[in-house]
Structure formats: C-alpha cells, structure tokens
Structure 1
Amino acid sequence: MGILFCVVAARDADAHVKWFCAYDVAGQPRGLENVLCQDFELLLGVAVFWLFAGCLIEPTVVGAATIRALDRITEPLRLRTEEMIRAVCAFFFISIWAVGGILLTPELKTTSTFVGVLQLGIAAGMLSRRTLPLSAAGMAIIFGIGVRGYGVFHLADYPIFLGVAAYLALTGLKKDLFGISPLDVVRYSAGVTLMWASIEKWAYPEWSFPLLIEHASITLGFDNEFYMRAAGMVEFTLAFALLWTPLIRRCAAAVLTGMFISACFEFGKIDLIGHSAIIAVLLAIVCDNRTSARDVRAAWLAPVSLCAALSVTLFVYYVGHAALFKTSIL
C-alpha cells in the first residue's frame, strides 16, 4: 500500500528541480551501488508487474473498450492536434521572451538580444504551416546556443525541443522522417527526454530535498530518499511506455499529463510555462488513434524491453558523466 501511495504522490515530482533549486551538473552523482538498492529492485518489480498487466489487457475486450472510450473523448482535440501544438509553442516562446533572459528553460540564462528576437520570430512562424520549418530552424539554433553555453550533458535533459522542432519542420514540409510520422518523432523524443530526466532523481536526489521540505505534503510522509526513488521509477516507466503499443502509450501519456498539470498548480507559472510544450505533446499522444504493424508486440517483450532500456539509460548517463566530468561510476 505504501508503494501505491508513493506512486500517486509522484505526480508532483515532475517539477523540474533545476528551475527551483541549486544544482551542480558536474558534481559527483550517487554511485550505482547506492542507486541499485533493495528499494530500487522492489520498485522495478512493481513497475514490471503493472506494465506487463497492461500489455495483457490491451488485446482483450477491456482494452478495446478503453481505446474506444479514449477515441470518443479525444476526438475534438485529435482533429486539431497540429493547431494545438503550434498554439502552445507560440505561447511558450512569447512567454519566455516576455520574462526575458531565458534561453529555453528557466535555468538556461542568456543576455543576448538576438535570442529574444529569434524567440519572437519562432512564435510568429507558428501562424502559418509554410513558415513552420523556419521556426524549427530557429529552435535548433537556440538549442545549439544552449549546448555551446551549458554543455551537451546539460542539454541532454531537453531533446524534446529537438523533437518538437522536427515535428514542426516535417509538418510544414508535409514529409515523414524515413517513414516515421512527425507525431511519432516527437513522441520518441518525449520518451527519451523523460527517461533521461528520471535518472537524475536517482543520481542527485539531494537536489530535490529543499523542494520536498518546502512542499512536504507531496511526499505523503514518506522518507525523501524512498520518495525520490519511487518518483524516478514512476517517471521512467511511464516514459518508456510512450514508446510502446497504442493503449499503453496513450494511458501513460494521460497519466503524465495529469502529473505535469498537477505540478503546475503546486509550483506555479514557471512550471506551467516550462512544461507547456511537453504537455501539448503528451495530449497529442493521448489523442493519437493511429495503429501500425509495428504496434503488434508480444506482452513478454514489454518487461524485458523496460529492463533493457533502464540498463542502457543508466549506463549512458553514468559513463557519459564520468567521461565528461571525470567522476566515479560506483
């Protein structure tokens, strides 16, 4: 029961800690021997169980009824998916321009007047499908400025922006990316973004402790260490689910949307502005009723793939950090 309560509480863990607390990207992360503890194994077991159960339910009558219900509820927004994403992107770039001094997200600072002009240009480009590729190019330029100023490891938190840029460019050009639709491109980028971000909750849980002290109610009385492990596991599993079959990814996107929106009420307008683009992407995934031959997968592949994705992401994060910042893995 405690684990279930912690899973529910983890909805508020999606406030991006770098926007509210002190952090040190180059600092020594928690060693893997500390991360891969008994609590971690227990939480992974719970995640595997629920993911596997969802995969077993999807091809049944219950799964089909759930998809039909989702289709009925989301149809009005599904017909306006492109317009929604364009409108939210315009809101995002106008908002960070109005606040001033922000590159892409609140912790990425800039004093460049060129960036402000580019942000307004990107927002203006959302008015027409023909100018979407220009807005996409502007987003890529700002992302590149961020990499130059803050390093590739820091910007690895935000591939969602490249995914949105690709979506806009492909939509404007009316093309796919090697057979992958624009919406699938941004869906993959959202999954990778959130899987990467979840590792941070295990590697640097202490960054979030001041936030948990200030907003103590979100932990429901659980120990901060355990809470951060649970929050990371919930986020990683849901992020991985975005890459899976139609019902699984749509349900995961719905849960993540609820988590992000509830975090906005807890942490205010900075969180709302910063997460507006990914919320729009998640809503688009919830509404997406397309299916393909690639979506037919055996249920047992889900837990195996989840564990493989977790292992690979942990490996890349820790080995990459050690290579760039000369830190220890264990």
Structure 2
Amino acid sequence: MKKYMPLFILIVVGMISAPILADAHVKWFANVAPQKVKLEDILSPFFMTISLLIAILLAILSQVMGKLMDIPLAKKFDLRLDSFRKYSRYILKYGTAVSFIFQVSYGTMFAPEFAIRHTWQTIVMWLIIIFLVIPHHISTKIAALLMLGLFISVWGHAGWFHMLDYGFYIAIIGVLLVGKTRFETIGFPFLYLGTGLSLCWVAVEKWVYPMMTIDIIHHHNVPTFGFPPDIFIVLSAFIEFVVGYLLVVGILNRVLAVVVTILFILTTTIFGYTEVVGHAMIHIVLIIFIIEGISFYNPPIKMHQSKLDQMIFVSLNFIFVLSTFLIIYYRFA
C-alpha cells in the first residue's frame, strides 16, 4: 500500500491546488459575448496529450482507490459516514429549501443568470420552499412537481441547450418524486448520473468559449499558478470534466465530493455571494455524496470483474465520453 500513497497524495494535492476556476460557471461572470473557437484549435497537441495522460491516470486510479479503502482508518471513517445515510433524503429536502431561499432572496431562479421577472415566479419559488419544509412525503412531491414546472418554464425561455448546464436539477426533482415509492432506490444513482454529466457538460464550455474564461481571469484576478491563460483554461476544464466523469463511473466519490466542496468554497473568495447562490444546491448534493459514497450505487466500472478489464473500461470510456461531449456541444453551441 505504501508504494501507492505518493501517487494518491499527488492526485489529491494536485486537485486541491488546481485552478479554482474549474468550478466557476463562466456565464455568471464573463463580460464578453460568447465567441466559439475553431474545433482544430481546441484539439491541439496539448489537449490530445493531456487527454491520453488522464486516461492512463484514471486507469491506475481505479485500482489504487480500492487498496486505499483497505486501510483501517479509512474503513473506520467509511463506517462512520455510513451511519449518517439515514439523513441523506432530509439533507436533500431541506437543503434544497435553503438553496431556494438564497435564490429567491437574490432575485433569481435555479442559477444567478435566470432573474425573477414576474410575481408568479416569486410565488412559485416560495411555494416550493414551504412545501419542502413541511415534513411529509406528499408535500415533498408537490414541491418537486412545482420545481419541475418552473424548470420547464425557464427551459422554454432559455432554450434546451442552455439548460443542459443545470441538468442536475432534473435529477434532484427525480429523487424528491420517487421518495417513499417502490422506485426510491434509483433516486440517488440518478442524482450521481445527473450531477456528473452536468459537470462534464459545463466543462466543455471553457474549451469552446475560452475568451469568456480569459475575461474572468483578467477582471477577477484569478490566479493561474504560473500557467499561460490558454493552458490554464484547458487544464481547469479538464479538472471539472474528470470530476464529473469519476462521479458517473463510481470512482473516488467521497474523496471527490470533499475536494470539490473545498474548491467551491475557494471560489467564493473571488466571486463572492453570487457564487454562494449559484452553487448552494451543488454543495447540498456533494454533502450527500460524502455521506453516501457508492454504497447504494452499482457503478459502471463494477460490470467488469478483472482489474485489466476495469482499467481498459475506465480509460477508453473516458476518451469516448470526452469526444462525445465535445462534438455534441460544439455542434449545437
């Protein structure tokens, strides 16, 4: 186990000290219009090299983390977190209410870019909060249906492509709806999938519209840790994409949730209360991931029994997912 520790420490420290811009939503803070770059400019030799290196690293990581959890202290910590699992649905329910209070007090819905423009929207927001606070599963389902209706309303105004950035809200609504039903067990796996895919989708934005991110770097004095801005953007987007991918395939979920939570907290020092409002809901989801781990989730990597098969699956699937997201985003951006 000792021989794996330096690698694990390097990964964790690297992620914690990585560009904190990776978790900032560029649409909220950029002052320039989106300007799409050419696809060949995105697929630079540097981009391709980093993609291959990450694919190899993820293959190794899929095996290292299993050995890490064999450490007695890690097992004890894991069991301690498992004891809080009974509170997960309450955390999601009341945490969503708190997040919506932040949003409505800021005059927005779901994200800082969607301003409340009509009285009925304010009323619906407060109804969602009230029904979430009522401790009954029927009330929770009513709140979820109201959330779905409001989300569809915003979707119709902003466009389906834009709202894919916030696809995790559909997952949250799904979890709230299936509570106390025979479909309850699929709720949290759906939340993992929705959150992971949303992070991957948002990450691609930084590659396709790099000038928006450069504008944020200049206007908010974001530290680039010695990297040129163009390299910094590529790396920060890869960090966000990898985090989303790992949540989906079921690797490092508790550690990832802790690391990403730290990154989100760091971004508030630069972007202030807007960042708090925009990412409060994500914080709630990450708290659930810290508590739940993958105890309820049969991650895709478990479909393969041998270590070699798992390593091949993780690495090749990463390249496939990366390519698919980039092509789809670029086609419809």
| CA distance in structure 1 between the partners assigned to 2:327 and 2:275 by the alignment | 29
* Kept in 1: contact 2:16–2:263 (CA 8 A): no
Partner of 1:324: none
Counterpart among 7, 10, 18 of residue 9 in structure 1: 18
Partner of 1:219: 224
Partner of 1:315: 327
Listed as ranges, the matches of 1:27-42 within 5 Å are 27-42=34-49
Listed as ranges, the matches of 1:155-304 within 5 Å are 155-171=163-179, 173-176=180-183, 181-245=186-250, 247-289=251-293, 290=295, 296=302, 297=304, 298-304=310-316
* Kept in 2: contact 1:6–1:230 (CA 8 A): no
Deviation, structure 1 residue 213? 1.6
Letter in 2 for 1:225: D
Deviations 1:151-170 (A, max 9, x none): 11111111011111111111
Deviation, structure 1 residue 16? 1.2
| CA distance in structure 1 between the partners assigned to 2:21 and 2:208 by the alignment | 19
C-alpha change, 1:192 and 1:265, in structure 2 (3 Å) is: same
C-alpha change, 1:255 and 1:225, in structure 2 (3 Å) is: same
Deviation, structure 1 residue 304? 0.8
Percent sequence identity is: 22
Taking structure 1 as the reference length, the TM-score comes to: 0.86
Deviations 1:205-259 (A, max 9, x none): 11122221234352113111111100111111110000113x5233222222221
Give the 3-state SS of the residue equivalent to 1:210 in structure 2: helix
| CA distance in structure 1 between the partners assigned to 2:239 and 2:62 by the alignment | 17
Deviation, structure 1 residue 7? 7.6
| CA distance in structure 2 between the partners assigned to 1:85 and 1:176 by the alignment | 17
C-alpha change, 1:284 and 1:36, in structure 2 (3 Å) is: same
Does residue 86 of structure 2 align to residue 79 of structure 1?
yes
Counterpart among 94, 112, 115 of residue 118 in structure 2: 112
C-alpha change, 1:67 and 1:44, in structure 2 (3 Å) is: farther
Letter in 2 for 1:108: F
C-alpha change, 1:217 and 1:99, in structure 2 (3 Å) is: closer
Partner of 1:139: 147
| CA distance in structure 2 between the partners assigned to 1:282 and 1:158 by the alignment | 15
C-alpha change, 1:7 and 1:36, in structure 2 (3 Å) is: farther
Partner of 1:130: 138
Give the 3-state SS of the residue equivalent to 2:252 in structure 1: helix
| CA distance in structure 2 between the partners assigned to 1:5 and 1:216 by the alignment | 21
Deviation, structure 1 residue 28? 4.6
C-alpha change, 1:206 and 1:73, in structure 2 (3 Å) is: farther
Letter in 2 for 1:42: T
| CA distance in structure 2 between the partners assigned to 1:234 and 1:104 by the alignment | 24
Does residue 318 of structure 2 align to residue 306 of structure 1?
yes
Q: Cα RMSD (Å) of the superposition?
A: 2.3
Deviations 1:36-89 (A, max 9, x none): 1122122223322331121121333x3333752541453464332122212221
> Gaps (5+ residues) in structure 2?
1-9, 305-309
| CA distance in structure 1 between the partners assigned to 2:114 and 2:222 by the alignment | 29
Aligned residues: 311
| CA distance in structure 1 between the partners assigned to 2:249 and 2:282 by the alignment | 18
Letter in 1 for 2:325: T
> Gaps (5+ residues) in structure 1?
322-330
C-alpha change, 1:237 and 1:293, in structure 2 (3 Å) is: closer
Taking structure 2 as the reference length, the TM-score comes to: 0.86
Deviation, structure 1 residue 23? 5.2
C-alpha change, 1:7 and 1:85, in structure 2 (3 Å) is: closer
C-alpha change, 1:200 and 1:8, in structure 2 (3 Å) is: same
Give the 3-state SS of the residue equivalent to 1:29 in structure 2: coil
| CA distance in structure 2 between the partners assigned to 1:23 and 1:121 by the alignment | 36
Deviation, structure 1 residue 6? 8.6
Deviation, structure 1 residue 22? 2.8
Greater shift after overlay, 111-120 or 141-150?
Answer: 141-150
Give the 3-state SS of the residue equivalent to 1:181 in structure 2: helix
Deviation, structure 1 residue 198? 0.3
* Kept in 1: contact 2:35–2:211 (CA 8 A): no
